[in-house]
Amino acid sequence: MKKIVLGFSGGLDTSYCVKYLSEDRGYEVHSVIVNTGGFTEEELEKIEAHAYALGVKTHTTVDAVSSYYDSIIRYLVYGNVLKNNTYPLSVSAERLSQALHIAEHAKKLHADAVAHGSTGAGNDQVRFDMIFHIMIPGVEIITPIRDLKLSREAEIAYLKDKGVQMNFEKAVYSINKGLWGTSVGGKETLSSKGILPEEAWPTQVTASEAREVKLSFTKGELTGVDDRSFGHPTEAIRYLQTIAGSYGIGRDIHVGDTIIGIKGRVGFEAAAPMVILKAHHALEKHVLTKWQLNWKDQLAQFYGNWLHEGQILDPVMRDIEAFLENSQETVTGEVFVQLLPYRFQVIGIESPHDLMNSRFGKYGEMNTGFTGEDVRGFSKIFGNQVSIHHLVNTKV
């Protein structure tokens, strides 16, 4: 019997895939779920039980939270990456981590085929397919929902006919939770106008009093919150989320271009990611030089766009990551942030690498490193070529 590895979430689409692949196609199905920070232990146990009830041969849970951060998220922080100046790549980044782990599992089991539950309408189908083609060339990719052009109603009817018992009620809002944010889709995001109502957001606002938090960065990575230190940045991210999430911070609507050429709209909440990115950027503005910041912005924008489009395996990404990591050598210090309902503001930073140092002058007041005569000569030389241009072309 041929083996197939199925990326499994326990939802309607992947539940259909188990039954279809095992009973209609005759495959020995091995399901795998890759946890990138969106599931509790209890949820993972329920998903495993559901997979076996559907008839999988084996089910594997991969804890990818730390590796997801180490291989992807930290570079998004180093680059202060926000897609279209808005979205911290919450879902698109984790899909790549999941695809890579599914491919590794298929290798380990010497699978004849690999499957995922993507439809033919979004980005995920491209991300999964492309990584599978690169990582496990020659292994057949089967996508029942896309290939059969199935409607939700058809999937439900099929599963009921097979005697499957599960919750077939469609949630009013589609929610995808991960370490780096939670996406929220509903009727309000299907058109170009509309905002999600308060009850649609997974994290409700319970904090009302202003609160100041201190974020400690070590070479660009969040290692402490207030007076608490953490062994791995994922722990710091999760802890900050428990604080900032209750303020309703990081809620927004992202309008983006899909890989397949259509535009889409999705809500998201990402309290910890948004606070971390803005705090990290504030620290960088103090400790990096003008041209470090300039080139980081350009490379990070490309990195975020190329990552969003699934190109995590392009070697240029390793080149950019090397630059980003090297740029963080002096990004160490504390950033002070005030949290308020639905917003936050960076109060300031403290760092031994702060280039805004009073020993060299105070902006707008005085300087100690040069004289007014130095500036007079510098200004003439600095504009010399432009002066020549104007003089030559005025005469012409």
Three-class SS of residue 87? strand
- The whole-number pLDDT of residue 364 equals 56
Summarize pLDDT for 183-233 with one digit per residue, the tens: 999 999 999 999 999 999 999 999 999 999 999 999 999 999 999 999 999
pLDDT of residue 358: 61
Looking at the predicted structure, is the pLDDT value of residue 359 above 90? no
Closest among 259, 89, 106 to 115, alpha carbons compared: 106
Q: Are 228 and 238 in contact (CB under 8 A)?
A: no
Contact between 73 and 307 under an 8 Å Cβ cutoff? The reply is no
Task: Extract the tokens encoding 52.
Answer: 């076996």
Q: H helices then E strands: how many in the chain? A: 14, 16
* Residue 169 clears pLDDT 90, i.e. is over it: no
The mean predicted confidence, pLDDT, of the chain is: 94
Q: Is the pLDDT of residue 282 over 60?
A: yes
Would you state the torsion angle of the CA atoms of residues 297, 301, 302, 307, taken in this order, to the nearest 10 degrees? Answer: 130
Over residues 239-252, the mean pLDDT reads 97
For residue 184 the two structure tokens come to 């929220």
Listing DSSP states for 313-377 in one string gives TSHHHHHHHHHHHHHTTT--EEEEEEEETTEEEEEEEE-TT-S--GGGEETTTEESS--HHHHHH
Confidence of residue 325 (pLDDT cuts 50, 70, 90): very high
- Cα(74)–Cα(322) distance, rounded to whole angstroms? 12
pLDDT exceeding 90 applies to what percent of the chain? 89
- What integer pLDDT is reported at residue 371 of this predicted model? 86
Does the pLDDT of residue 270 top 70, yes or no?
yes
Predicted confidence band at 392 (pLDDT cuts at 50, 70, 90)? very high
